[in-house]
Structure 1
Amino acid sequence: MTRVVVTGLGLVTPLGVGVKTSWKNLIANKSGLISTTKLSDYETAGWSGIPSKVIGKVPEGPLSEGKWQTQDHFEHVSDARRMALFVQYALAATQEAMTDAKWLPKTEEEQTETGVAVGSGIGSFNDSYSNAVAFHERGFKRVQPLFIPKLLSNMAAGNISIKYGLRGVNHSVSSACATGLHSIGDAYNFLKNGYANVMVAGGTEASINPLALAGFARAKSVVVDSNESPEKACRPFDGSRNGFVLSEGCGIVVLETLDHALARGVKEEDIYAEILGYGLSGDAHHITAPSEDGDGARRAMKMALDRSNVSPEQIDYINAHATSTLLGDRAENHAFNALFNNNKKVSISSTKSSIGHLLGAAGAVESIFTVKSIKDSKVPATLNLQEAGSHEGDNRKEFEFDYVPNQSKDKLVNYALCNSFGFGGVNSSICFAKYKK
């Protein structure tokens, strides 16, 4: 039986650049959400006319302070200009993850046995917008020659493959907000089925743009009532929840077969976690809204558990998809009740309360938070949770789990689930476990 383990992690999030910074701030109950009024182009770019004014933006500054500046990640800034920001984030997180895993393949054999599965929900929204405006206003010659290569959502995977000479699987998922988790789940299946021995996997997104925020605002998906207190905008499971926060970032993991990891000298204490099972399903219900009973979410989680040979009673922690929308959180909670009603010891939290919704990168970033919960025996909080299930239409009796309100806590986590769902009715869930011989 092929076992798959996590040996490297890389992060770029609104809480900081790098796993150490992001995780430290997350466990300290900090928020990475800011007001668009703080942006330098607030008055000129169109932000001021949008009713929602809260975003999760990767902080800018030197890497030594856990922040983002391009020159810290590229030897030549001209190289970075040829890549969209979502690709830059992916390359930075990949460098961290591969360095962490101590896997930088040099021989042809090593490169051929290493694959990439990195997706993006949207690709380069900024390049789509800027080139459309330039073409409309000034014509053909103002369209950038690299417009299409910068736009495509598979260019994160492509550039990772090129930079590191990875000649194995080259795969890119685009399944809305389930992209990151689907990417990791697909990479897991590639390893289980012998397509590779090592996979670089995850999701990346950089869609902080006035048009993107305006689109979500017009769809009534994003929060609009916390403009004065952005850190309080995302309130998963709370009675006052009323929309998600648009965010950006990237999460990359290095996965490999256990046999390969041990054969190349990875110490058992350096293995972060093991992936036991992957589940996915479709709602077949609506393009943006989940089925109210959460049946699709339930089936995805059940498939992950069944394939892991883990019972619902064994799960210690769930990193919920919960985006802070009225219907989405309620539907996911219905699914929790259907599967975990007899497991009141399970802790459930939404780390989106700290970082917002990273769209196609969400599941990858949250997988890393889940893995760190297992490795460090710490469960991150659901911030801004005052009264779970108290919104009109919620069934208060169903909101009785431990949602880890407002304060992270110490807890031994042997088995955990990470959930990601998305527009189009896509659902995914992965079961992670503490590595044991």
Structure 2
Amino acid sequence: MSRPDIAVTGIGMLTPAGTDTETTWKGVRAGKPTAATAPHLTGLPVDFCCSLPFVDIPAALGRRTAHRLNRATQLALMAAKEALQDAGLDHTTWDGTRVGVVIGGALSGTDIWETQYLLMREAGPRHVSPLVIPMIAPSTAAGEVAIAFQAQGPSLVAATACASGATAIALARDLLASGQCDIVIAGGTESCNTPLIATGLAQLGTLSKRCDDPAAASRPFDQARDGFVMAEAAAVLILERATDAAARGHRPRALLAGFGSTTDAHHPIACHPEGRGAEQALRNALADAGLTPYDVGHVNTHGTSTLLNDAVEARAIRAVLPHGPLVNSTKGVLGHAMAAAGAVEACLTILSLQHGVVPATANLDDPDPAFDLNFVTKTPAHQRVSTALSNSFGFGGHNVVLAFRAP
């Protein structure tokens, strides 16, 4: 079936490396890890994470708006605002009935759950905020973005664990291709570096335990990897049909060529040990985009720094892309922002296409010899590529691969 080309006309990001796209890109290129000991996690089995630099949220959103939102929703609004500015779009002049919103979320709102429950236990029910339900509802981020920018088309939340941000972008493509929307605000947001989530993930055995050296903890594809590092972030992309972007004289940052989505149907947490779902998602993305494996010059991996995930992903990449495209993971710098990760990494993949630079994988000092891949290590690779893939995999066996190409 013939589909219109889908353009990415704007991006916005807030990550541990920076509170906008430019500073995030500079931080990721510099390759300096952001993981650090967090005072609010003191005494827990894992007491470090990747947190955003200071950002004055009330100044950015208004004090009243900021007060009634959980942190993940605050970040989503700020990222969406930057993305719309980047796209050159003014929401006060558009037909909001033709604008959709799809935001990926997973554990966001846990900051409110924890603080409000403790307040109820310690001070009594009268002290619980009357806003607690809208503050913790999974639909909040998408709904608030829609309100802020008067987007009256479909408003959806994608919840596929750590693939949520990528799933949101894939759904946005379909809303545009089907003609339901002319513009879609899509991405992911996450802020759950809380004591309960940190403890739960540590009990699950997924977090790195390098409390003595947090900066060295996230080590994607390294022999010494021992788990991921929690992070918070938000990233939003503006997607339109390429013909519409051209008609208003806006050059896109990249084209979303296609995507592949599969489910392992194997285990609630662990990915399939043979990587069948991941491999099929890669193949599906290529087929959807009308590409051959040899068209791909770069893969931005999910690359979490866990033993099984990295092994399975490396195996899938090698099976589908035997020619050795440039491979990296940005989680060595940024940590794992879970529901936001796929959207953040989609933006970084687009920036790599734009600038002809693939950032190095931080802390990949000794690549696992079982992985025969063309890793970018130590310094960024300055190489122009026309097509790149961004991989995202999540608990529950969710696999999403996005294919981007230069416009």
Instruction: Confirm or deny: 8 A CA contact 1:32 1:354 kept in the other structure.
Output: yes
The equivalent of 1:79 in structure 2 is 65
| Aligned mate of 2:245, from 261, 270, 273 | 261
1:122 maps to 107
Q: 1:30 aligns with which of 29, 32, 36?
A: 32
Q: Do 1:123 and 1:152's aligned partners in 2 also have CA atoms closer than 8 Å?
A: no
Distance 1:54 1:335 in 2: 31
Q: Secondary structure at the match of 1:357?
A: coil
Give runs of aligned pairs for residues 54-73 of structure 1, distance below 5 A.
54-60=48-54, 68-73=55-60
The correspondence for 2:10, drawn from 8, 11, 14, is 8
Instruction: List alignment gaps of at least 5 residues for structure 1.
Output: 61-67, 391-395
Residue 281 of structure 2: which of 300, 311, 319 is its match?
300
2:195 aligned to which of 200, 205, 210:
210
The aligned counterpart of 1:63 is none
Q: Answer yes or no: is the 8 Å Cα contact 2:314–2:373 preserved in 1.
A: no
Q: CA deviation at 1:413?
A: 1.5
Partner of 2:350: 371
**Once the 2 structures are TM-superposed, how far is the Cα of residue 31 of structure 1 from its aligned partner?**
1.9
TM-score normalised by the chain length of structure 1: 0.91
Partner of residue 402 from structure 2, selected from 411, 427, 430: 430
Structure 1 residue runs of 4+, over 6 Å off? Answer: none
- Tell me the distance in 2 between the aligned counterparts of 1:204 and 1:166: 18
Aligned CA RMSD, in angstroms, stands at: 1.2
What's the CA shift for 1:220? Answer: 0.6
Distance 1:379 1:307 in 2: 24
Secondary structure of 1:212's aligned partner? helix
What is the distance in 2 between the residues matched to 1:265 and 1:322? Answer: 37
Q: Which amino acid counterpart does residue 73 of structure 1 have in structure 2?
A: A
Question: Does structure 2 conserve the Cα–Cα contact (< 8 Å) formed by 1:119 and 1:154?
Answer: no
> For structure 2, which runs of at least 5 residues remain unmatched after alignment?
none
Report how far residue 171 of structure 1 moved. Answer: 1.0
User: Partners in 2 of 1:183 and 1:4 — Cα distance?
Assistant: 14
CA contact 2:318–2:372 (8 Å) conserved in 1: no
**Number of the residue aligned with 2:269:** 288
Q: For residues 167-205 of structure 1, what are the alpha-carbon distances to aligned partners after superposition, in whole Å with 9 as ceiling and x for unaligned?
A: 112111111101000001100111111110111000001
| Cα contact 2:104–2:187 (8 A) shared by 1 | yes
Query: How many residue pairs end up in the alignment?
Result: 405
Q: The residue matched to 1:370 in structure 2 has which SS?
A: helix
SS of 2:158 mapped into structure 1: coil
Distance in 2 between the 1:54 and 1:403 partners?
Answer: 27
Partner of 2:47: 53
Structure 1 residue 193 corresponds to structure 2 residue 178 = yes
Structure 1 residue 138: Cα displacement: 3.5
Deviation of the 1:134 alpha carbon: 2.2
| Residue identity in the other structure for 2:367 | A
Q: Identify the match of residue 314 of structure 1 among 289, 295, 298.
A: 295
User: Once the two structures are superposed, what CA deviation does each residue of 1:274-299 show, in whole Å capped at 9, x if it has no partner?
Assistant: 01111110111111111111111111
